[in-house]
Amino acid sequence: MSLQSNEFVTIRLAGQLLGIPVLLVHDVLKLQNVTRVPLSPGWVAGVLNLRGRIVTAIDLRNRLGLPPRGANEKAPMSVVVDHKGEPYSLLIDSVGEVLRLDDTLYEKNPVTLDARWREVSNGIYRLQDELLVVLDVRRLLDMDQALAA
């Protein structure tokens, strides 16, 4: 791991703190105007226009097997990442800050972690108050695996 790769954008999803390597994040935006794509897998929330680029929106809650967002919860935010040259927008509940984390805080995935999480998690950082799960964006968006999920 190079030095920069342990800088993370923290996001929150159903109460859980997650981190995405900061270099992968292109944009953070309020979700607007998502066009639904009928027949697509449940975790594809739709497609949207980001400054002339068509971005596929991924419902991260659905992808990770979390309960859907309640009706009276806040409108979701979105983090735009690139995967194999294609932009994807990850729908999340809220965005936190950019954290630089020390390698000594890093732990491998606990064996008890749910299989669906283990598959997309790159390990865990022990923060003071809580744990941060590092999202492996590559595996999260890898089509074959995603389709199998």
Partner 1 sequence: MDDLLTEFLTETNESIDTVDNELVRLEQNPNDKAVLDNIFRLVHTIKGTCGFLGLPRLESVAHSAENVLGKFRDGELFVTPGLVSQILEALDTIKMILQGLEQTGNEPEGDDSDLIARLDLAAEGKFEDAAPVAAPEPAPVVADSRAETEKLLGRSLKPGEVTLDELEAAFAAAAGPEEVEAAAPLAPAAKAEPKKARVEAKPAAAPVEARDGEDGGAKGNQSIRVSVDLLEGLMNLVSELVLTRNQLLQIARRNENSEFSVPLQRLSQCTTELQEGVMKTRMQPIGNAWSKLPRIIRDLSHELDKKIELEMKGADTELDRQVLELIKDPLTHMVRNSADHGIEMPAERVAKGKSETGHVRLNAYHEGGHIIIEIADDGRGLNVDRLRQKIVEVGLVSEAEAEGMSDNQIHKFIFHPGLSTAEKVTSVSGRGVGMDVVRSNIEKIGGTIELDSVAGKGTRFAIKIPLTLAIVSALIVESGGERFAVPQISVLELVRAAPGSEYRIEFVNNAPVLRLRSRLLPLVHLHRILGLEPKTANDNDEAFIVVTQVGSFTFGIVVDEVFDTEEIVVKPVAPILKNLSVYSGNTILGDGSVIMILDPNGVANATATVQHNQQEDSQEVRARSLENEHESMLLFRAGSENPKAVPLSLVARLEDIDVSTIEFADGKPMVQYRGSLMPLVTVDDKCQLVTEGRQAVLVFADGDKTMGLAVDQILDIVETELKIELSSESNGRLGTAVVAGKVTEIMDVGHYLKLAFKDYLRAKPQELNAANAQQPRVLLIDDSSFFRNMLKPLLAAGGYDVTSVSSAEEALALREEGEVFDLIISDIEMPGLNGFEFAAEVRGQGRWADTPLVALSSLASGADFEKGRAAGFNDYVAKFDRDSLLSILDEQLELTRTAA
- Grouping H, G, I as helix, E, B as strand and the rest as coil, residue 141 is helix
Q: Which residues within the stretch 110-149 sit at the binding site for partner 1 (CB under 8 A)? A: 141, 143, 146-147
Q: Which residues within the stretch 5-44 sit at the binding site for partner 1 (CB under 8 A)? A: 33, 35-41, 44
Would you count residue 2 as binding partner 1 (CB under 8 A)?
no
**With CB under 8 A as the contact rule, which of the stretches 17-25, 52-60, 68-76, 105-113 interacts with partner 1?**
52-60
- What order do you get walking across the sheet with 77-83 strand by strand? 25-30, 77-83, 86-92, 53-59, 44-50
Would you count residue 86 as binding partner 1 (CB under 8 A)?
yes
Hey, what amino acid is at 4?
A: Q
Closest approach, Cβ 146 to partner 1, in A, equals 6
Name the nearest CA neighbour of 57 among 29, 24, 17.
29
- Which residues bind to partner 1, rule: CB under 8 A? 33, 35-41, 44, 46-49, 52, 54, 56, 84, 86, 88, 141, 143, 146-147
